[in-house]
Amino acid sequence: MMGRALAANECQGKCAWQPTDEEIDGRQVFECGACRSEWTAEQSWTPRNWDGEISQQVARARRLG
Ligand SMILES: [Zn+2]
């Protein structure tokens, strides 16, 4: 079975992206601590925290693809 759908919730301007222990298709799943949206590096967009910063872990996952 190929992966699963990522959660996509409306952000409240409080985003804080953190890595989780979960992987989908070999890519680490990140979760927003505020709105519980999820992200993997397979997505074409890159999540930013509320302050506009891209977390180091997200940037690293982005480089690894
Ligand atoms: Zn969010």
Residue 17 CA to ligand 1 center (angstroms) comes to 7
Between the CA of 61 and the centroid of ligand 1 the distance, in Å, is: 18
pLDDT tens across the length of the chain (65 residues): 567 899 999 988 999 999 999 999 999 999 999 999 999 999 999 999 999 999 999 999 999 87
Closest Cα partner for 29 from 7, 12, 11? 7
**Residues 6 or more apart in contact with residue 7 via CB below 8 angstroms:** 31, 36, 37, 38
For residue 14, report the distance from its CA to the centre of ligand 1, in Å: 6
C-alpha 26 to ligand 1 mean position (Å): 23
Could you tell me the distance, in angstroms and rounded to a whole number, from the CA of residue 48 to the centre of ligand 1? 9
